[in-house]
Chains A and B, each alone.
Chain A
């Protein structure tokens, strides 16, 4: 319920509300638990803003439709859960390759295949990084509160528009159904970024000509520009450039560079009590909440624990780990999976601190007590 500027919203509703505030005017999706309420919200609200909602025949079609709408100039989004996210990977690759802004929400459920639809997990973290084939960068944000579900959805659209790329939002089954209070900011106070539009004479327009910023201006269909693009590796003209080895490298580099050259702007991380931390817990999404509670409890027991919560899972906040790896005795990664981001963190730690892992995959949120117990075990081992 939204009452004035205060709202009690579920994680799913907050994503949909955030998207609309960010200017999303096209949503395509396919029913799937635990993401369906995002569709419900968009189906009901979008027409009020002149926006469009469509339930497509499957998630392949949903992803295709939002790319199409974005090429026609609209901010667009789809939402799904694991099985649908797998189906979206094909067209997600096209959005990366053709540099079409859009937002994809994956409300993570448990396990491979149908798994368990109604319980949370964080096992799509690597799929968000590498789910579609071929070399490509990924911008992926993990949500841990309803407030973040709103705010980071706005940010996801800003990043998508600014860097002309799909942005993935990872939520989970618990957050999706859980309500919290959100202060809906005055839209005028929010930073809303729209893609840089082509202004050049249409006769001179090259769809992938770098204007020096690394990001090519976008020409929406219907605005006087006639241009071509393809999911085939292309050059600045948009046409295939598959026989020149140098051009192949340039195109892949360009996709990476526009992200890697802007890490300062893109990467987002929350740090808690890390200045003097001997044990640094790395946790994201819903698990980060348990990590904060565990850190407080550990501190009151005299154990110096801090938390690093990556908000952009991809690009991963490497520097935050590098800053603590020599000072901390142990880096403890907590996640609701069999071990995914653990390996990324371990690689960055480079043996400069001990590594510990708490992976829980039983469909339940990790409780603060459980993290605290591991912290105490680690402390006992260290001393």
Chain B
């Protein structure tokens, strides 16, 4: 889509640009893919709430022309649960970083997934806390250098898609910033999915994680993503050793299960029928 037909002005608060993201950061690519998906599935901006957490990715909601807000760190899915349950007519999109989603917000993630409440979770995973200066996050690979693992990281990482899947999410997919069109495709499916949908976008932080681990420039890191990404089916045949420093991509779940707010609406109908 061309940039000259009002697309940018329609969806972005141009007065808030340029954004704060560093050169080579993957966040812009993910948000670009997300906006295109929103446009393709024609969500009404007045009926769409975008909530983002704290951290670099948390700035996204401020650049987007939607009903949007940025609450405290880690709680976006709990806020989203209140919004969606109170008014299921609203589309609710939660933009989170890896720390926001899987560390401080981990409890909200597993329970939102378990309930299968119809909100869309967008996770920008750059393997570290960027905004606060490059500390290790729950997705930082073992042995990595970060500001809080100066001798190499000793904790194993979470696989956020696995976590969501195991918790009950009914749409789960992962891609990366080298493949923005695939991201858009997954976002479209997530946005139109009935139930809890999570799309994890692997994106780079060349300024901190990349620099601390000598991963090269943003461009080099982006190109390397292509090599690190392994299709789901292919990954099944690979050994853990072969999968080291790689990540699986694809759709991990696309299931039909009762959505939370629909079930609650049925409770209301049932109670009111019994009463009348």
* Residues of chain A having any CB pair with chain B under 8 Å: 25-26, 28, 47-48, 50, 52, 54, 56-58, 60-62, 64-74, 76, 90-91, 93-94, 98, 202, 221-232, 239-240
Asked whether B72 lies within 8 Å of A222 as measured between CB atoms, the reply is no
Asked whether B66 lies within 8 Å of A226 as measured between CB atoms, the reply is yes
Asked whether A74 lies within 8 Å of B86 as measured between CB atoms, the reply is yes
Kindly supply a per-residue 1/0 record for chain B positions 47-81, scoring 1 wherever the CB is within 8 Å of any chain A CB and 0 otherwise: 10100000000000110011111111001001111
Give Cα A208–Cα B67 distance, bound, in whole angstroms.
Answer: 14
27 contacts between A and B (CB under 8 A): A47-B264, A47-B271, A48-B275, A52-B85, A57-B108, A57-B110, A61-B75, A61-B111, A62-B78, A64-B82, A65-B78, A66-B82, A68-B78, A72-B83, A72-B90, A91-B72, A91-B75, A93-B72, A94-B71, A221-B67, A221-B83, A222-B46, A224-B46, A225-B67, A226-B45, A229-B70, A231-B70
Chain A residue, CB-CB nearest to B85: A52
Asked whether A65 lies within 8 Å of B71 as measured between CB atoms, the reply is no
19 more CB-based (< 8 A) A-B contacts, given A64-B82, A67-B71, A230-B71: A26-B85, A28-B81, A47-B268, A48-B272, A56-B78, A57-B108, A64-B108, A65-B81, A68-B79, A68-B80, A71-B82, A72-B90, A73-B87, A74-B87, A91-B71, A94-B71, A98-B69, A226-B46, A230-B69
Of the residues B71, B81, B272, contact of A54 by C-beta under 8 Å: B81
Chain B residues in 8 Å Cβ range of A90: 72, 75
Q: Shortest beta-carbon distance, A22 to chain B, in Å?
A: 16
Chain A residue, CB-CB nearest to B110: A57
Give Cα A68–Cα B67 distance, bound, in whole angstroms.
Answer: 12
Interface of B is mostly: helix
Chain B residues in 8 Å Cβ range of A47: 264, 267-268, 271-272
Chain B residue, CB-CB nearest to A227: B67
Asked whether A61 lies within 8 Å of B81 as measured between CB atoms, the reply is yes
Of the residues A57, A224, A227, A228, contact of B111 by C-beta under 8 Å: A57
Q: Shortest beta-carbon distance, A187 to chain B, in Å?
A: 17
Of the residues A71, A91, A231, contact of B83 by C-beta under 8 Å: A71
Of the residues B46, B87, B108, B268, contact of A72 by C-beta under 8 Å: B87
Asked whether B90 lies within 8 Å of A65 as measured between CB atoms, the reply is no
Asked whether A239 lies within 8 Å of B271 as measured between CB atoms, the reply is no
Give Cα A228–Cα B268 distance, bound, in whole angstroms.
Answer: 32
- On whether A73 and B111 interact (CB within 8 A), knowing A224-B46, A225-B46, A226-B65, the answer reads no
Chain B residues in 8 Å Cβ range of A73: 86-87
Chain A residue, CB-CB nearest to B90: A222
Of the residues B62, B65, B107, contact of A239 by C-beta under 8 Å: B62
Q: Does B214 contact A (CB under 8 A)?
A: no
- On whether A94 and B72 interact (CB within 8 A), knowing A48-B275, A226-B66, A230-B62, the answer reads yes
Give Cα A299–Cα B116 distance, bound, in whole angstroms.
Answer: 63
Q: Does B234 contact A (CB under 8 A)?
A: no
Q: How many residues of B contact A (CB 8 A)?
A: 39
Q: 5 closest Cβ contacts across the A-B interface?
A: A68-B82, A65-B82, A64-B78, A61-B78, A69-B86
Chain B residues in 8 Å Cβ range of A56: 78, 81, 111
Chain B residue, CB-CB nearest to A228: B68
Chain B residues in 8 Å Cβ range of A50: 268, 272
Asked whether A68 lies within 8 Å of B62 as measured between CB atoms, the reply is no
Give Cα A232–Cα B90 distance, bound, in whole angstroms.
Answer: 24
Chain A residue, CB-CB nearest to B49: A221
Chain A residues in 8 Å Cβ range of B66: 226
Chain A residue, CB-CB nearest to B111: A57
Chain A residues in 8 Å Cβ range of B275: 48
Give Cα A54–Cα B86 distance, bound, in whole angstroms.
Answer: 10
Q: Does B89 contact A (CB under 8 A)?
A: yes
Give Cα A30–Cα B75 distance, bound, in whole angstroms.
Answer: 16
Chain A residue, CB-CB nearest to B108: A61
Chain A residues in 8 Å Cβ range of B237: none
Asked whether A52 lies within 8 Å of B108 as measured between CB atoms, the reply is no
Chain A residues in 8 Å Cβ range of B107: 57-58, 60-61
Q: Shortest beta-carbon distance, A153 to chain B, in Å?
A: 19
Chain B residue, CB-CB nearest to A46: B268
Of the residues B61, B82, B111, contact of A76 by C-beta under 8 Å: B82
Chain B residues in 8 Å Cβ range of A76: 82, 86
Chain B residues in 8 Å Cβ range of A231: 70-72
Chain B residues in 8 Å Cβ range of A26: 82, 85-86
Q: Shortest beta-carbon distance, A176 to chain B, in Å?
A: 25
- Identify which of B71, B80, B81 gathers the most chain A CB atoms within 10 Å of its CB: B71
Q: Shortest beta-carbon distance, B20 to chain A, in Å?
A: 11
Chain A residues in 8 Å Cβ range of B45: 226
- On whether A60 and B62 interact (CB within 8 A), knowing A65-B81, A68-B82, A232-B70, the answer reads no
Q: Shortest beta-carbon distance, B179 to chain A, in Å?
A: 30
Chain B residues in 8 Å Cβ range of A62: 78
Asked whether A65 lies within 8 Å of B46 as measured between CB atoms, the reply is no
Give Cα A52–Cα B81 distance, bound, in whole angstroms.
Answer: 11
Give Cα A71–Cα B86 distance, bound, in whole angstroms.
Answer: 10
Give Cα A90–Cα B80 distance, bound, in whole angstroms.
Answer: 17
Give Cα A190–Cα B66 distance, bound, in whole angstroms.
Answer: 37
Kindly supply a per-residue 1/0 record for chain B positions 1-38, scoring 1 wherever the CB is within 8 Å of any chain A CB and 0 otherwise: 00000000000010010000000000000000000000
Q: Shortest beta-carbon distance, A46 to chain B, in Å?
A: 9
Q: Shortest beta-carbon distance, A356 to chain B, in Å?
A: 42
Chain B residues in 8 Å Cβ range of A202: 46
